[in-house]
Amino acid sequence: MGNIYETIKLNLFQFIGFLDDDLIISVSDLNKLIFVAQIENLDVFQPSLNHDSYYSFRQFIHKPGFLIQETNWVEIMTPFYCKDIFLGIGPYFKHSISGQGIDVYLVPTIQRLLGKMKTAVVHAVQLKHARPLRTDNRVFSTGKTNLDEIRIIHEICMKIVSENSQLNSDKELTKILERRYVYGVPLSHKIQRIPRMIRNLYKLIVDASYR
């Protein structure tokens, strides 16, 4: 990502996207993705993952019936950024070869500094992630693992917050930066899902009753 940033930072388009080499998506769907982002005024976004994809985070799996669904962050596997966000995060790419930590910590932090907060998964477009995750526990040329890089990015974000007092009162950012785990979901987050699970179950029962 760092090399790409240095190459194109002086010649930017409206959106800049990154696609891993194990993703299957058509050019027409990429055009549709950009079109939806334009009409919805998105700053950061990604397509949803189809149901036979390999995935790490369930919230990015395709949800039928949604055009977009707003979220706090999108995965480094297939993110799209508006020009200002890309320029804001670009100087930090050198700290993470894997890109991990940039997605969940750095981008939301820089978004708040720039006032460009609209982040969403675009469910109108799906892609397939065709290969299992391979980053975990790999040691990069810097001698660091992806977990080391996540910790470094987290520390950078905490420093940015300490240097910008207006960010201290942002409760949503505080929640994001307090989430210091990579695997598993804390019990408090699971409990918060219960009302949504009940609503979704009700919708499934109603839909089934018409068949």
Q: Each residue's pLDDT tens digit in the chain (211 positions)?
A: 666 666 666 666 789 999 988 999 999 999 999 999 999 999 999 999 999 998 888 889 999 999 999 999 999 899 999 999 999 999 999 998 888 899 999 999 999 999 999 999 999 999 999 988 766 667 777 778 888 899 999 999 999 999 999 998 999 999 889 876 544 455 666 677 788 788 878 887 887 887 6
Closest CA to 19 of 141, 125, 173, 156: 125
Q: Taking CA 69 as the corner, what is the angle to CA 14 and CA 171, rounded to the nearest 5 degrees?
A: 90
Question: How far apart are alpha carbons 69 and 192 in whole angstroms?
Answer: 17
Per the structure, how many domains does the chain have?
A: 1
Region label for 137, one of left (φ > 0), alpha (ψ between -120 and 50) or beta (otherwise): left
Buried b (16+ CB within 10 A) or exposed e, 73-91: bbbbbbbbbbeebbbbbbe
Q: What is the domain range of residue 96?
A: 2-209
- The domain that contains 7 carries what CATH number? 3.90.550
Looking at residue 167, the DSSP 8-state letter turns out to be G
